[in-house]
A = this chain, B = another copy of it.
Amino acid sequence: MTEPTTHPAILTIAGSDSSGGAGIQADLKTFAAHGCYGTSAITALTAQNTTGVQDVLPSPPEFLQKQVTSVLSDINIKAIKTGMLFDGNNVRAAISALKSHYSNSSDVTGNIPPLVCDPVCVSTSGHTLLDPSAIDVIIEELFPLAVLVTPNKAEAELILSRRQSSAATSRSIESLEDMLLAAEDLLCLASKAVLLKGGHLTVSAEDVSRVASSYPNLEIVRDGIIPNGENMEILKVNSSLAGAQLVVDVLHEILANGQKKTTILCRPRIESTNTHGTGCTLSAAIAAELALGFTLTNAVRRAVQYTYRGIATANSAIGHGHGPLNHFHSMREIVVPKITPTNPYPLTTLLIRRSARVWKAYVEHEFVKLLGKGTLPQKNFIHFIKQDYLYLKYYGRAYALLAAKSNSFPAIDSATQIVLNVLREVNTHETFCASFGITKDELARTPESPATAAYGGYLIDVALRGDATLLLMALLSCLLGYGEVGLWLEKNAKPGNGGWVILQGNPYLRWIEDYAGENYQRAVALGLETIEARATMDPPSLSRFAEWYAVWERCTELEKGFWDMAMNLS
């Protein structure tokens, strides 16, 4: 449940599926969905789609070997999976490349990263993907390097049939008990662990209970099944999975202490044709979970769940046969881009760019221009400054509510400091007004304009109904806008930059200096940082961003309305 900080690299050695649902394509998609970096060595090309395999073209063994060597010699690989290997020569080529890279010690298995071997023999559509003679090479030479072998029913039967005494008939796996026996026999061939996949068998809850009572050490993992005794009656009653048929995989492994452990992984069978590439996806997901540092048992549990959800959420509109899984069900697109050196304020940039029209109407308001030129009639400024004085009461209260909604001492402190700043700003307003001959008493008796009431009321509304972040969005427009206006006027006071702003003798010089000044700009920089940090720490969903944006845009409109009011004396 933690977001991976690194992106471990993984190598898949497998075939290419032109239709993108299986082979290295499925592997790369799966690695990516796990936050891993995927590399690939292609054993064979296929011309393939969801209805079947139209043709296969094996890679020459020496070229397969070159691909593996190119990857290993440059990139630090944390896990490997093998899929379709096509023939014995390619199995040997892959092994040779692995061994020559990881052979610093005599024991290659000590150096090689976790290798998951998916012994692909036959495609879902029935196409032979492995030369029968290659099976022995895989068993004898590749199995010993693998931490896990993941055959399905047909592959397990094939492997076991080839390794049985000559007199034995071919092995058949038809029940959960057969699966458990087969897993044991397979573990004699695989060195560390076997996952026998049960997708081609249907098992009932009764089968699981029966087996559970005969094998007391069996661990049972259920996904999408609420077992008795877990006290989730409430979920059971509200869903309807009671009599579902199950799919069960059997994981049989040798633990570090030499003991054997069996886990059966159950889930309700999903009626779906979106199963193309299920085996590839599962073994790739296991490799990814191992690369991320999970134990084998946990890696398998998590990978089974991932694959299962890939089937459950698949898009049935791709292809006319057995369609692909949804490999990216576990990810979604972000709304606010990540902070980078060239985009240090992605959230704020997005808010301003999207609201460009109203933002411009606010910060380039006629009121601001006249103020900059020093030609704003005094009565308009006085009306503004009186209403701004009343507005500051709401603004201060909103920051007090922010303090009340904060969950950490630093956050309570920072909001409280702003309340104190607002109170100081009130003093400045009083002094300012005094210079225009307005007494403190007259200020206090000024009736509230509708624009002031609308804006103030909205701030308090957001403060009461939203969380601290939403309130920050409401407070941002005022904070940024006045900072923007201060800088804009200052810039345009310079001869080279148009120079329409007059500072000398401007009756509102003090106001311009206040907002362009270091103190206010420091507060703006802090506000920017705070809001960007929120979006980074708690990236909003599309719907939450829409809520943030609506509040920002509304406040920007209310700011514009505030200056309209000053111009209209309304």
Residue pair B32, A49 in contact (C-beta under 8 Å): no
Known: A19-B71, A241-B342. A66 touches B47 (CB 8 A): yes
Is residue A42 within 8 Å, beta carbon to beta carbon, of the partner chain? Answer: yes
Considering the chains assembled together, what is the distance between the CA atoms of A342 and B241 in angstroms? 7
Q: A18-B41, A35-B333 are in contact. Are A542 and B3 (CB under 8 A)?
A: yes
From the candidates B1, B270, B315, B464, name the one contacting A335 in the complex (CB within 8 A): B1
Is the C-beta of A470 less than 8 angstroms from some C-beta in chain B?
yes
A-B contact pairs, 14 of them (CB 8 A): A7-B318, A16-B42, A25-B38, A25-B40, A37-B315, A50-B75, A55-B63, A233-B487, A234-B524, A309-B337, A309-B343, A312-B340, A332-B332, A467-B467
Q: How far is the CA of A18 from the CA of B405 in the complex (A)?
A: 52
Contact (Cβ within 8 A) B329 A331: no
Of A85-93, A252-260, A344-352, A448-456, the one contacting chain B is: A344-352
* A320 touches B (CB below 8 Å): yes
Indicate if the CB atoms of A270 and B342 lie closer than 8 Å. Answer: yes
Q: How many residues of A contact B (CB 8 A)?
A: 124
Partner of A334, one of B6, B29, B330, B465: B330
A73 beta carbon closer than 8 Å to chain B:
yes
Check A458 for interface membership: any CB of B closer than 8 A: no
Complex CA gap A308/B342 in Å reads: 10
Of the stretches A184-192, A204-212, A532-540, the one at the interface is A532-540
A103 at the interface (CB under 8 A from B): no
Chain B contacts of A483 at CB under 8 A? 234
Contact indicator A42/B39 (Cβ below 8 Å): no
CB-nearest residue of chain B to A9: B318
Measured between C-beta atoms, what is the minimum distance from A531 to chain B in Å? 12
Q: Does A59 contact B (CB under 8 A)?
A: yes
Known: A28-B28, A224-B340. 17 other contacts (CB 8 A): A3-B542, A18-B41, A19-B75, A25-B39, A29-B32, A29-B38, A42-B42, A49-B71, A223-B343, A231-B484, A231-B488, A233-B487, A241-B342, A309-B338, A332-B334, A404-B465, A467-B470
